[in-house]
């Protein structure tokens, strides 16, 4: 199933379409959603409203990797407070020895396999990562 074939996430999916595409791509790459990673993991106290984080993809294998999908509107167009929060999330996880890779929503919609493959190699091509 290519990115172009995925037009919408199932109604029961708790996240966005780009998050669903990343989830499906990880599975196609042989990652198991129980053994290798979890989706929407609460870290440092849980939801942002409680001062904690929710990480889109937290990996068990490898244990030092996390991936967050950056939506164009929610993560970039809402301005510097949201961008600062994302950078703080990266710093908090780095303190735990975890590298947080951001993947931009538009990149996922255009080239999910390439973007996810790079993320699994700790390559951040996102706007926040300096890649776009």
Task: Give pLDDT, residue 94.
Answer: 94
Architecture label for domain 15-120: 3-Layer(aba) Sandwich (3.40)
For the chain, the domains span: 15-120
pLDDT range class, residue 100, cuts 50, 70, 90: very high
Task: Give pLDDT, residue 88.
Answer: 87
Q: Contact at 8 Å (CB) between 70 and 127?
A: yes
Whether 46 has a pLDDT exceeding 80, the answer reads: no
pLDDT range class, residue 78, cuts 50, 70, 90: low
Task: Give pLDDT, residue 121.
Answer: 98
**Residues 101, 80: Cα–Cα separation, whole Å:** 19
CB atoms within 10 A of CB 105: 22
How many CA within 13 A on the CB side of residue 91? 6
Indicate the average pLDDT of the chain. Answer: 83
Whether 56 has a pLDDT exceeding 70, the answer reads: yes
């Amino acid at each position: 199933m290519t990115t172009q074939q995925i037009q919408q996430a199932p109604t029961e999916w708790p996240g966005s379409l780009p998050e669903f595409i990343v989830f499906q791509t990880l599975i196609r790459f042989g990652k198991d959603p129980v053994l290798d990673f979890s989706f929407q993991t609460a870290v440092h106290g849980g939801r942002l409203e409680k001062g904690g984080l929710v990480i889109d993809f937290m990996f068990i294998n490898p244990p030092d990797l996390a991936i967050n999908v950056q939506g164009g509107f929610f993560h970039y167009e809402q301005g510097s407070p949201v961008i600062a929060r994302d950078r703080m999330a990266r710093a908090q996880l780095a303190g735990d020895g975890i590298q947080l890779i951001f993947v931009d929503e538009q990149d996922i919609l255009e080239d999910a396999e390439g973007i996810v493959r790079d993320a699994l190699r700790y390559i951040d091509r996102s706007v926040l990562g300096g890649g776009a």
